[in-house]
Amino acid sequence: MDKILDFIETEVQQAFTECGYDVKFAKVTLSNRPDLCEYQCNGALSAAKEYKKAPFLIADEIAARLSGKDMFEAAESVKPGFINLKLDASYLAGYLQEMQMDKERFGCEAAKEPKRIMIDYGGPNVAKPLHIGHLRSAIIGESIKRIGRFMGHEMIGDVHLGDWGLQMGLIITELCIRKPELVYFDKDYEGEYPKEAPFTISELEEIYPTASAKSKEDESYKEAAMQATYELQNGRRGYQALLAHILHVSVTDLKRNYEDLNVSFDLWKGESDAQPYIPAMVQKMKEEGYAYISEGALVVDVKEDSDTKEVPPCMILKSDGASLYNTTDLATIVWRMKDYNPDEIIYVVDKRQELYFTQVFRCAKKTRLINEDTKLTFHGFGTMNGRDGKPFKTRDGGVMRLERLVSEINEQMYQKIIENKSVTDKAEARKTAKIVALSAIKYGDLSNQASKDYIFDIERFISFEGNTGPYILYTIVRMKSILAKYRELGEKTENAKILPAKSESEKELMLEISRFGAAMENAFTETAPHKVCAYVYGLANAFNRFYHETKILAEEDKEVQAGYISLLKLTKNILEKCIDLLGFYAPERM
């Protein structure tokens, strides 16, 4: 179904044509003075120049035409030439009535030309615990994926594991010192390797930081780790078997962590999956004359005339022939194009990697790893800071582990829920706390424009009031409880007709609802989950205002009451759809 603004604009265009003016002037926008009107058209002001006529004369003519139409309760011309519009309450109710019939999309049209979009997010590094730096990528990427899917696109999420660096060599080296008897270290061994990993996830998470610390102090240790990495990457059997164990143990744990965050990926590919594509890619870049040797390294120039800052060449191979993060990212583009041929690849990565991605994208374009019309998009996000404005740390100044952060917030939320006394069963309170805490974390992040740094203010995020996730959930829970009470009265909550608004607050709620489709479309085109948040917050506020001014359950006129209930249900369904797009959901009680 068309967006409400399109319907309005069509009427206004007609009026312009009927009065003899070009339709290009018939642009309608949301009013920036909601106290005066709901929508406005300023076209008479620009038409005045072309038609050499006073703007208010044109506005008068148009307003007179529009006043006669059923769609408007009022169409006023205001000097010097504004046209202020208010929608007719019955028209608006009819529009909502149609939205409510569409149980899945509430009238929001899916893209007519669906695109295949790959989204690279999460980006955890194997064997290293997830830290809060990875939180943003997971939360933002998941939401972009869901919004895209809702808009009808084929979205393919790929976690792009960091599984190819020195960290692997470090783990192998440390393991070799601790358990030299393991068969993986025996060069002459030709049999099968054990199925069981020789370590648990907690051991693995302890081994890596220990090894990393040792390598910083001990040069020979570091060399051993580099040598192990080299041998691993060049196919030493025992090491590759170890890598498979490290990957398996690590990925099992990562999946559990992401599940707790309601984040999931279609592909669990990693940097290592790109390695087989490197030799042919490098060969081609050399043959076609793009890559050349500079100071021993193989590079591709990527600077452009219009650059205001220096963009250094993209390094393809180091002087010792080793591949780099760049090489892996380029080769990843190769298999993504080969296996999926996407229209676009979106990277949700810390914005400090922007220059790096500029190099990679330019290189991919220049060396034609992608098609002419494939879009590569860098969606950089800012830093998550503590209340002191500095990057978020633990109390003792260490790197905050994601799991620990989440469990701390779960605990605080649990206390709050117990104090609220709305959920008395302890086990249910724990479950509810997790659901609400997730909304606090995700909404706290997503409500900011992704590219900006933001303050991770737990106290504010977990509050049930203000622009927070829990406030949105609280509003939904309130609606659920009204619906339950309505049913207890023996009333049916089947979709009764939505009636024309009888009060200011009811109309405002209806206007907010009617803008759902436009808000989602906009959030998608601008890759902006924060726009979904802004919409959700406006809608929740509009509902709460309506609720405080309207006696729903005490309403005596049954038809009016049933209409309120339908309106409430539609609001609830839309809010629930929106939070699903943000990656969280509402409990029954809280």
**Residues engaged in binding ligand ARG (CB under 6 A):** 120, 123, 125, 160, 162, 329, 347, 349
Least Å from the CB of residue 124 to ligand ARG: 7
295: phi > 0 → left, psi -120 to 50 → alpha, else beta; which? left
Least Å from the CB of residue 229 to ligand ARG: 16
| DSSP helix/strand/coil, 345 | strand
Residue number with CB closer to ligand ARG (60 or 271): 271
Give the single-character DSSP code of 23. G
The Cα 294–Cα 287 span in angstroms is 16
The Cα 173–Cα 150 span in angstroms is 47
Least Å from the CB of residue 370 to ligand ARG: 14
Residue nearest ligand ARG by beta-carbon distance: 123
Residue number with CB closer to ligand ARG (349 or 533): 349
The Cα 487–Cα 499 span in angstroms is 20
Between 354-366 and 325-340, two packed helices, what is the crossing angle to 10 degrees? 50
Q: What are the φ and ψ backbone dihedral angles of 222, each rounded to 5 degrees?
A: -60, -40
Residue number with CB closer to ligand ARG (176 or 324): 324
Residue number with CB closer to ligand ARG (16 or 381): 381
Task: Tell me the two tokens of residue 332.
Answer: 């990843």
Between 4-18 and 516-525, two packed helices, what is the crossing angle to 10 degrees? 100
Whether 310 contacts 341, CB under 8 Å: no
Residue number with CB closer to ligand ARG (106 or 347): 347
Least Å from the CB of residue 329 to ligand ARG: 5
Whether 106 contacts 570, CB under 8 Å: yes
Closest listed residue to residue 512, CA positions, set 545, 477, 553, 471: 545
Least Å from the CB of residue 165 to ligand ARG: 9
Residue number with CB closer to ligand ARG (81 or 165): 165
Whether 540 contacts 470, CB under 8 Å: no
Tell me whether strands 344-350 and 116-120 are parallel, antiparallel or unpaired: parallel
Whether 326 contacts 357, CB under 8 Å: no
Least Å from the CB of residue 158 to ligand ARG: 9
Least Å from the CB of residue 347 to ligand ARG: 6
Task: Tell me the two tokens of residue 210.
Answer: 């220990």
Residue number with CB closer to ligand ARG (255 or 589): 255
Residue number with CB closer to ligand ARG (121 or 537): 121
Whether 129 contacts 253, CB under 8 Å: no
Radius of gyration over every alpha carbon of the chain, rounded to an integer in angstroms: 29
- Write down the H helix ranges in 151-200: 166-178
Residue number with CB closer to ligand ARG (3 or 160): 160
Least Å from the CB of residue 351 to ligand ARG: 12
Give the single-character DSSP code of 288. T
Task: Tell me the two tokens of residue 319.
Answer: 């002087």
The Cα 250–Cα 163 span in angstroms is 10
Residue number with CB closer to ligand ARG (9 or 163): 163
The Cα 326–Cα 314 span in angstroms is 7
Least Å from the CB of residue 356 to ligand ARG: 8
The Cα 567–Cα 556 span in angstroms is 17
The Cα 358–Cα 207 span in angstroms is 35
| DSSP helix/strand/coil, 252 | helix
Least Å from the CB of residue 384 to ligand ARG: 14
| DSSP helix/strand/coil, 551 | coil
First to last CA, the chain: 36
Residue number with CB closer to ligand ARG (120 or 445): 120
Residue number with CB closer to ligand ARG (358 or 475): 358
Least Å from the CB of residue 258 to ligand ARG: 14
Least Å from the CB of residue 364 to ligand ARG: 12
Least Å from the CB of residue 125 to ligand ARG: 5
| 3-state helix, strand and coil shares in percent for the chain, rounded to the nearest 5 | 55, 10, 35
Whether 413 contacts 441, CB under 8 Å: no
Residue number with CB closer to ligand ARG (311 or 324): 324
